[in-house]
Amino acid sequence: MDLHSGLPYWIIKNPLFDYYNPLKMDLETDIVIIGSGITGALMTHELCRKGLKCCVVDKRSIATGSSAASTALLQYEIDVPLCQMAEQIGEKNAVTAYRSCLQSISDIETVLKETGIDADFEQLPNIFYASDEKGVKLIEREYEIRKRYGLPVELLSKEELHKQYQLETYAGALLNRQSAQLDAYKAATKLFRYHIENDHLQIFTHTEVTSCEEAPEGCRLKTKDGRTIRCKYVIVAAGFEAGQFLPEKVMKLTSTYALISHPIDNKDLWPERCLIWETAEPYIYVRTSGNRIIIGGEDEDFNDPKARDELLREKTEKLERKFHKLLPSVPFKTEMTWCGTFSTTKDGLPFIGAWPGTERIFFDLGYGGNGITFSMIGAQIICNLIQGKDDERKEVFGFERIHTTL
């Protein structure tokens, strides 16, 4: 399935990583990571820094799946607000999920600093505004529970939003100053290049894994070309395409749309270039990349690439109208558009760990709008489990909750 179409900005902005190395013979190794997107890259880094031998397998070129279309907002907020998540999975687990996401933003920055990688990481404030009266009530509840648990949050009125940030909103918003953004494609490709050069990492591109079996002594993978890979552990970091390796469906597929503006004068951007999103479902979100503006959203609950692509023009026009209404003083003219498919879960959380009853096949599935922060968390949890170390977060993000979230 085509994971995206149109013209994703990131593979225009960056040089393509023209790495071609299909697996041409049987292989034995310690750990195999399936997927070369940002999730696989963070997983690879965590394993390599602990001295664990691994290789990566992907049926595509490096990072040209969902990561090439990601708009890469890094937020501790999750698609399901904390006050609602607390009702679904309990306050303790919900707060653990939110705090884990907050910590992961700093952890991602640390990864980039310790490898010397420039992935356009920027710390920026984040505004979550009320779209309607229902959103006003949600904002009030959300502010209360975040304050109670010491999460970074400020409450702004409609007037303050307009005066400080030029936003024309229905009502007020929550502000936090511990969010960030990056270039996911750039981060993934540079992390892989770093470990190829420093840890002799092997990446086998254009190599499709068709089966993965666990045995007491290890795992055996088969490729479409008839090659066999034997290893101690497998980590599936293939997004919604991980479904073929799971005994049950664990997510819902959703189509989303994004567009990026022509460059504009920096003085015409809104103050502090805050990340912006709203309480409506589906929500729209806004960020910048240099002196360009990205707006995305208008999600649809279907995954048919043809139907998704046919709506691109209509969705582009809707996103443009919403942007002009939200920030009427900021000039915006679309230069590129794209759409893609991603996965969501009912409770807004990823699935991280091994399927119940198995021990050697792990999943790092950062579903939802927080895919990159979830991927960082997943890399840490799985690395700990492989080393025989307990990680209390595995209970929050594991598969044990599956029959209560679908």
Sorted by where each starts, the structural domains of the chain and their CATH numbers stand as 4-70+185-251+348-405 (3.50.50.60), 123-178+252-344 (3.30.9.10)
Distance CA 34, CA 23 (A): 13
Query: 300: closest CA among 286, 319, 287?
Result: 319
Provide the pLDDT confidence category of residue 94 given band limits of 50, 70 and 90: very high
pLDDT at 34 over 90: yes
Sign, CA torsion 251/252/255/257: negative
Provide the pLDDT confidence category of residue 306 given band limits of 50, 70 and 90: confident
Provide the pLDDT confidence category of residue 404 given band limits of 50, 70 and 90: low
pLDDT at 310 over 90: no
| CB 76 within 8 Å of CB 128 | no
Which DSSP helix (H) or strand (E) runs through 72? Answer: none
Beta bridge partners of 292: 289
Determine the pLDDT at residue 406.
45
237-276 pLDDT, tens digit each: 998 788 899 998 888 888 889 999 999 999 999 999 999 9
pLDDT at 3 over 80: no
pLDDT at 1 over 70: no
Determine the pLDDT at residue 250.
87
pLDDT at 366 over 70: yes
pLDDT at 403 over 70: no
Q: Which pTM value belongs to this model? A: 0.95
| Average pLDDT of the residues in 48-54 | 97
User: Exposed/middle/buried for 319, CB within 10 Å: 0-12, 13-18, 19+?
Assistant: buried
Determine the pLDDT at residue 245.
93
Beta bridge partners of 32: 55, 234
Distance CA 154, CA 175 (A): 5
**What end-to-end distance do the CA atoms of the chain give, in Å?**
23
Determine the pLDDT at residue 303.
63
How high does pLDDT run on average in the chain? 94
The count of residues in the chain is 406
What region does 368 belong to: left with phi over 0, alpha with psi -120 to 50, or beta?
left
